[in-house]
Amino acid sequence: MLRAIIIASIVLPIHSAPTGMIYPHACCANQHCHPVPCEEILEQNDGSWIWYTFRFNKNVVKPSEDKRCHVCTIGPNGVCAFIVQGT
| Contact in structure between 71 and 79 (CB atoms under 8 Å) | yes
| Contact in structure between 87 and 80 (CB atoms under 8 Å) | no
- How far apart, in Å, do the first and last CA atoms of the chain sit? 44
* pTM for the whole structure: 0.68
DSSP β-bridge partners for residue 35: 70
Q: ∠ CA 43-73-66 to the nearest 5 degrees?
A: 65
State the Cα–Cα distance between residues 60 and 63, nearest whole angstrom. Answer: 10
pLDDT in tens, 12-71: 333 333 444 457 777 776 677 889 999 999 999 999 999 998 899 998 899 988 888 999
DSSP state of 77: T
> Does residue 6 surpass a pLDDT of 60?
no
> Does residue 7 surpass a pLDDT of 50?
no
**DSSP H or E stretch at residue 7:** helix 2-11
